[in-house]
Amino acid sequence: MTQEPVLTARGLTKRYGRVTALNNCDFDLYPGEILAVIGDNGAGKSTLIKAISGAVHADEGVIELDGKQVQFKSPIEAREAGIETVYQNLALSPALSIADNMFLGREIRKPGPLGSWLRMLDRPAMEKRARDKLTELGLMTIQNISQAVETLSGGQRQGVAVARAAAFGSKVVIMDEPTAALGVKESRRVLELILDVKKRGLPIVLISHNMPHVFEVADRIHIHRLGRRLCVVDPKQISMSDAVALMTGAKKPPEDALAA
């Protein structure tokens, strides 16, 4: 890789009591790429992206965004820096509408009634922007943008979460198992959306157990094992079964694997 990475982590360690979820883990994400992170259950993939996106604080290690050291105290701070994350549990508020969810934490406001210093939510503006965004992203199978998220299907909810990340991510989009709960058609749409986000020049981190999905869209694959990066491989140079063998420890990584 000749370009400088957008996002790097060095020596990330996170312990939960006796469990070491991240163990001196390194990570690199390059401009415009789709980097898949694969690993066995409990390997520490979610903890890695939570540490990067401010949802958990690493005990040790350094994270750099665009070459500058960052230390996000919360996912909100990471978002403000341009890192959008779709977490496994989606982090949507079920009782709120689609539009409210898309703008959660960055609501559009307008001046209050004359003489009032309070700024009010500008719902029509949020609804229009949310509708435009979902339409642009091809996810507008939803009839009513003011519909509560709890009334949507699993796939539609995923669509809202992915659209929110795709719409607001300005530097990095991270997706933790975005197709896990979806049917074939909905998964396909999410994969297309991931490729659309890439076309817009944004790098994406994709955590997935679905090997065909990973091999379909990833430019590089970070193989995570026992809390750390075991190696990085090129999906064009390795078979799915070899990637799984590396992930599970049945096979040792090739000598030049980190350079992939």
Ligand X SMILES: Nc1ncnc2c1ncn2[C@@H]1O[C@H](COP(=O)(O)OP(=O)(O)OP(=O)(O)O)[C@@H](O)[C@H]1O
**CA-to-CA distance for 65 and 172, rounded, in angstroms?**
10
The nearer residue to ligand X, 45 or 133, going by C-beta atoms, is 45
CB of residue 8 vs ligand X: minimum separation in angstroms?
19
Q: Least distance (Å) from ligand X to the CB of residue 89?
A: 11
Q: Does 21 bind ligand X (CB under 6 A)?
A: yes
Does 229 sit near ligand X (CB under 6 A)?
Answer: no
Phi and psi dihedrals of 46, rounded to 5? -65, -40
In this complex, which beta carbon is closest to ligand X, that of residue 9 or of residue 99?
9
Half-sphere exposure of 180 (CA within 13 A, CB side): 13
Residues 23-52: x/- map of binding to ligand X (CB under 6 A)? ----------------x-xxxxxxx-----
Nearest distance in Å: CB 249, ligand X = 14
CB of 17 or CB of 115, closer to ligand X: 17
The span from the CA of 170 to the CA of 214, in Å, is 23
Residues 6+ apart with CB under 8 A from 28: 1, 5, 7, 8, 232
Determine contact, residues 93/149, Cβ cutoff 8 Å. Answer: yes
Structure-token match 């690993």, residue found: 39
Q: Which is nearer to ligand X, 14 or 133 (CB)?
A: 14
Which parts of this chain interact with ligand X (CB under 6 A)?
A: 16, 19, 21, 39, 41-47
